[in-house]
Amino acid sequence: MSEIIVLGTAQDGGLPHAGCRCAQCERARSDSTFRRSPASIGIRCGSETILVDATSAFSEQIHVLQLAVPDSKPGSRYRAPSTVMLTHGHTGHYVGLWQLDKSVMAADCVRVYGPPLTIELLATNEPWRQMVADGFIALAPLAIGTAHDLGADLSVVPIAVPHRSEWQTDTVAYRINGPTRSVLYLPDIDRWDEWEIDAVEAIGSVDVALIDGTFWEPFSRPGVPHPPVTESLNLFGEIARSGRARILFTHLNHSNPLVDPDSPEAQLVRESGFEIAQDGEVIPL
């Protein structure tokens, strides 16, 4: 059976966020159930595991991913994920790769896939270039817009999305096609109206969509564009209300009131037919 497990739902810094003493970060420090790991998902297909984005919470996230693997038991060492797929070149989404190096897991040639320019960034910079030379990882670009087989009855299509590129890298969402369901994983995008494809059509064409929910309202600081949740509620409202697709918000900034399931904003999201992704939830494929 193939399934997705949600490994993290916060923006890159997680919840609590470094250097922040807002009420939500302080609550997360004192209440472990309120914490959220940086955004990531895992795909399990039999004994094969695929990690989508390697965050700063890499150790904890691959532990959760491996718990259901048959040969994983206390007292043993489990294998590294067979594949890591990256959405883009922001450090919050790839920095965890270093734990595949000799200093931690000494992994055996884990496949690292991603959009072409992001893979080029890793291939031409340390420590990733040395990790390739030492055989801990193997880098391979995924052609955008093309279906790539991940296993029996499981494929993925990278879809280019507009997102800020400080190092001339590229960003993709992944459409994951399983035996019975399709899932769109889109944690980062600058604006829906800058996407070269129709956002409503793309999200309405899958069974489940995990989408960028970074900020509740437009963020006041320049240089960090993300579509506010309030805009997404209007844009995709008909899809959510009709039940054509489950739409879940992920990649939540620590300041976003949606991190609190009891907030009025979270209640409004649920009443509008949408969901807020939760760390640890499972989505069958």
Give pLDDT, residue 72.
60
Give pLDDT, residue 75.
62
pLDDT at 151 over 90: no
pLDDT at 265 over 70: yes
Residues in the chain: 285
* Model confidence, pTM: 0.95
Give pLDDT, residue 168.
87
Write out pLDDT tens, residues 11-36: 999 999 999 999 999 999 999 999 99
Indicate the fold that domain 2-284 takes in CATH: Metallo-beta-lactamase; Chain A (3.60.15)
Give pLDDT, residue 126.
96
Taking all residues of the chain, what is their mean pLDDT, rounded to a whole number?
93
Give pLDDT, residue 76.
67
Give the start-to-end residue ranges of the domains of the chain. 2-284
Give pLDDT, residue 165.
85
Confidence of residue 71 (pLDDT cuts 50, 70, 90): low
Give pLDDT, residue 69.
67
Write out pLDDT tens, residues 82-134: 999 999 999 999 999 999 999 999 999 999 999 999 999 999 999 999 999 99
Lowest mean pLDDT among 146-150, 166-170, 258-262: 166-170
